[in-house]
Structure 1
């Protein structure tokens, strides 16, 4: 028996023995046959449990090692990122508070599933090590285990922080995590790209998940912490994912079609134009794009295509939403102001007649102030509807 499989089976046996999480029972999926089905869309959340490399190493030792031309592992470089190091304390607290907030809103709205748009674990993802296992438990299993989260599937997606470890990190999220906790869903083939359908009483929605990390040209530079054998290889075969999306959308008779990925093609922070081969397929089929990466929430629209940004479930950054200032008519909503971005997420109500997107932003009070005042954060601060079906 392969060593990896032996380890996975042993892990499954342990988690079943201790009773949490549910393991080995088969994937949890969204219920079928509902007139209206509500899902939560969120991303960029997994900060809890990350331990940056110590300050002495990052500031004093690392430069010496680099000066001696020693190869520094990408994950070690990433764990010395000065910006992320500065965020970690607040980011952890904000993820915890926002997780509770999302649970409260989704309890009220009766969310039946969650759609992730990536960056599930900062700063350098997780892999099949004791540290990775413990982080998965703390930052996801325990974080999202109460109330409405208890039996809801999470349709997952990879982000740039998830692939820093390369193939080992990808394998953990796509192959091991679904066996660790049945709510964590990554398709039937356990690949970084896959498709799934949500099926209602009289409607169907097709979602195609891709790994947008493979498309980003800057990740191929030697200076990038995201360059590794995994991203190098999949960058050469991006057409495989484009063909998968093209074939799936063409064969689907669904009323609604979605592309689910991490990076944004349209943004007020940074546009990843390399994603155009994917976006052109979405436009052809009158689909909708769901993405994260920018740490805020927004709604963009171009060529009659809606782009839903939901990256505010962890550490929000106002600059990612241009500090609340629109750049042009393609910007319909920005969940930020001149001082701050809001923590929050987006709910999607699916039915035969329409799609309803609602943006929930958290009132971010703390002792002595309020980072993002919201009068009633249990009501959506912005919403839009889609009534034209997919092609």
Structure 2
């Protein structure tokens, strides 16, 4: 009888392993396939709203001011979770993330995406950390949200944004060290660092991507009144030169046809440029690289000093002002995915081959019961596209 029980247990364990989702079992990160003549990847950012519960109104409006007046130390993530704008957005933002996730999956299935590239802000409002609450957020906002169809078997090359570092080192450690073990689709390099590089390798081409944490470069995050001021941002700000040197070395040794920088904050923007990123941009320009970023909650294409800046921050809550309500100022803005009412939800795909990087902006038709805020006649076709043919140096 004992033998029979053991036998059944072994069979059950085996079948459980067979039918369980692979990405919950292996603990080893996936990577994009090698050898394709054309490899398609999606660029996605500013998306992780689901599962966030803001602090109660009573606490934010009545208790918090009293605590501040009494000079009681309040954790920055608690203050951040009382942000009035984000508290207003949360209901719509969660719905928009859900709808946009479905749309991204539909487009990526159609285009046979081999990977997704994140440009940060993976979890609003105050990120995740290695607590039960952090694990539940990770499960709800990412694992369950992106679990069907094409999402189930492609890697996500991840990047940190400002909302990901609110909890400091513990939040960074969760995304860089714990999450890749939790789900093997979540890729964050092999050394558990907030910056890393990886290559996508085709049949006769190679593309190098360098991922940096731009939070470390932002001066206003070093003010003790900032919700992003913590032991992690203080330390990495002092050591930001390490990331610049890392970028220089990775680009210098790479013989790739295409070189990309992947980070959160924009150097070119319709809302606010982060000039502190100039040391990074100078390296990119030297190597004729391409910039992928988020932070602004919209889609845009800028060209400055012959460098292409691809903004893909529209997978969660869109904000028209981030793309200047669709009004192009100056010759740098080539495309802005916004109008007077809203910015568009969507993402960007890169079709990478030996001869070119074909960049396509997919914008979903935002139909609601009371109207259509952003009309797109055929949202399974790119609303805007351009092609990069000049190789990296």
Q: TM-score range by the shorter chain?
A: over 0.9
Once the two structures are TM-superposed, the CA of residue 21 in structure 1 deviates from its matched residue by 4.0
Aligned pair partner of 1:130 in 109, 129, 132: 132
Once the two structures are TM-superposed, the CA of residue 190 in structure 1 deviates from its matched residue by 1.1
Once the two structures are TM-superposed, the CA of residue 222 in structure 1 deviates from its matched residue by 1.1
TM-score, normalised by the number of residues in structure 1 = 0.95
User: In 1, Cα distance between the equivalents of 2:160 and 2:21?
Assistant: 28
Once the two structures are TM-superposed, the CA of residue 92 in structure 1 deviates from its matched residue by 0.1
Q: Is the 8 A contact 2:27 2:183 kept in 1?
A: no
- SS of equivalent residue, structure 1 residue 246: helix
Aligned to 1:362: 364
Aligned to 1:141: 143
Q: Which moved more, 1:365-374 or 1:14-23?
A: 14-23
Once the two structures are TM-superposed, the CA of residue 371 in structure 1 deviates from its matched residue by 1.5
Q: How many positions carry a matched residue from both structures?
A: 378
List per-residue Cα deviations over 1:200-254 (Å, max 9, x = no partner).
0000000000000000000001110000000000000110000000000000000
Residues 267 and 16 of structure 1: CA distance in aligned 2, closer, same or farther (over 3 Å)? farther
Once the two structures are TM-superposed, the CA of residue 18 in structure 1 deviates from its matched residue by 6.2
User: In 2, Cα distance between the equivalents of 1:232 and 1:17?
Assistant: 45
- SS of equivalent residue, structure 1 residue 115: strand
Aligned pair partner of 1:38 in 37, 40, 46: 40
List per-residue Cα deviations over 1:11-49 (Å, max 9, x = no partner).
xxx999965643335211100000000000010000000
Aligned to 2:96: 94
User: In 2, Cα distance between the equivalents of 1:142 and 1:21?
Assistant: 12
Q: Which runs of 5+ in 2 are unaligned?
A: 1-15
Once the two structures are TM-superposed, the CA of residue 368 in structure 1 deviates from its matched residue by 1.6
Aligned to 2:218: 216
- SS of equivalent residue, structure 1 residue 371: strand
Written as runs of structure 1 = structure 2, the 5 A alignment for 1:171-182 is 171-182=173-184
User: In 2, Cα distance between the equivalents of 1:254 and 1:18?
Assistant: 38
Give me the CA root mean square deviation.
Answer: 1.3
Residues 186 and 371 of structure 1: CA distance in aligned 2, closer, same or farther (over 3 Å)? same
Aligned to 1:11: none
List per-residue Cα deviations over 1:312-369 (Å, max 9, x = no partner).
0000000000000011000000000121100000000000000000000010001121
User: In 2, Cα distance between the equivalents of 1:151 and 1:131?
Assistant: 26
Once the two structures are TM-superposed, the CA of residue 73 in structure 1 deviates from its matched residue by 0.3
Q: Which runs of 5+ in 1 are unaligned?
A: 1-13
Aligned to 2:235: 233
Aligned to 1:84: 86
Aligned to 1:264: 266
List per-residue Cα deviations over 1:157-191 (Å, max 9, x = no partner).
00000000000000000000000000000001110
